[in-house]
Structure 1
Amino acid sequence: MSEFIGTVGGGYDAKKGRISVPSLFRSQIAGPGALEIILRRSRHKRCIEVWPKADYMAEVDARVEGLSKLSAEYQSVMRKLVGKIHTLTLDPDGRVVMPKELAEHAGFEGELQFSGRGAYFEIWNAADFAEEEARLDAEDEGGDV
């Protein structure tokens, strides 16, 4: 399993719709089908989650283990976790064309922030990321995190 840590800046080429995954994170995408990644809208914030495909599918399998494929619960989980993902392959330089709907959801313009979340990393519009970090800092004033 991959471990994505740290935060690094990057850019979005709106004309080509392309991003370059920073080497800090690219080096953590490993295993069979190593250059395949899953992109999905975050269900919690205005950003994009990026997972190594094998790790994401293992997480999905764990969520539906023991459920009948005909059950409403199985179908609901699969709709949420598999129905709206994008499977992409990094080119040799670590670039991918960002699906337009994801770029629009996250408000991608020029500057981006790539931020590790352990099993996956997030891609944020840089201004939105700065706002979120400021909010978290204010929320944690004097905290132990």
Structure 2
Amino acid sequence: MALFLSTTINKLDKKGRISLPANFRAVLNDKQAQSIVLFKSPVHECLEGFDPIFVEEISGRLDDGFDMFSTEQDDLATALFGEAVQLSLDETGRMVLPELLVSHAGLDGEAAFIGLGKKFQIWNPEKLQERRNSARSNVKSKGLTLPVQRERGGND
């Protein structure tokens, strides 16, 4: 499975044009995706990025996790999808970020792309460093780790 990994800082021009990192484009190619979906993070001052197929999975989880017309389902759908944009990349891997998203993430001249596995985020580089420091501190103080996978077999 191709994953979004690593961190890259790219230039953002005055018109909102920016290049998706080459290793992120390779993930999209592996998934046969021609575009990305971006939306405002509901928890951070950054943008959340996904391939369109994974966004369909998110939508399905939203439908499965809540009653269709519940306030909670509506609130989360509004927060996630209400201002989401699907962006195509040009032949050089560039896209144009809408001003609404640029201002939400506080982007000005540069943007940091950080791969987080099935998704990626776009940050103001200085804010990303603060976030990384906070994440490392939380991991250490809370002793966060991955659960051990049990081997399958026998009587499972």
Q: Give TM class, smaller chain.
A: 0.7 to 0.9
Unaligned ranges ≥5, structure 2: 146-156
2:49/2:121 contact within 8 Å kept = yes
Q: How many residues align?
A: 143
Deviations 1:50-81 (A, max 9, x none): 11011111221122038664554543443233
Determine if the alignment matches structure 1 residue 133 to structure 2 residue 132.
yes
Residue number in structure 2 paired with 1:84:
83
Q: 2:38 aligns to what?
A: 39
Paired position in structure 2 for 1:4: 4
Letter in 2 for 1:47: C
Q: Partner letter of residue 78 of structure 1? A: A
Structure 2 CA distance for partners of 1:123 and 1:67, relative to 1, 3 Å: closer
Q: 2-side partners of 1:115 and 1:23: how far apart?
A: 13
Are 1:115 and 1:122, in contact at CA under 8 Å, matched by a contact in 2? yes
The alpha carbon displacement at 1:141 in A equals 5.2
The amino acid across from 1:127 in the alignment is: E
| Native 8 Å contact 1:90 1:96 kept in 2 | yes
CA separation in 2, counterparts of 1:134 and 1:72?
A: 35
User: TM-score scaled to structure 2, two decimals?
Assistant: 0.78
Aligned to 1:29: 28
Match for residue 56 of structure 2? Answer: 57
- In the alignment, the residues of structure 1 paired with residue 43 and residue 2 of structure 2 have an alpha-carbon distance, to the nearest angstrom, of 21
- Shifted more, 130-139 versus 83-92: the winner is 130-139
Name the % identity. 32
Higher strand share: 1
Cα offset, 1:136, TM superposition: 3.2
Question: Separation in 1 of the partners of 2:140 and 2:82?
Answer: 39
Tell me which protein shows more helix as a share of its residues: 2
Distance of 1:23 and 1:12 partners within structure 2: 16
- C-alpha distance in structure 2 between counterparts of 1:66 and 1:133, whole Å: 30
Under a length normalisation based on structure 1, what TM-score does the superposition of the two structures give?
A: 0.83
Q: In the aligned structure 2, how far is the partner of 1:22 from the partner of 1:130? A: 18
What residue ranges of structure 1 are gaps of 5+ in the alignment?
A: none
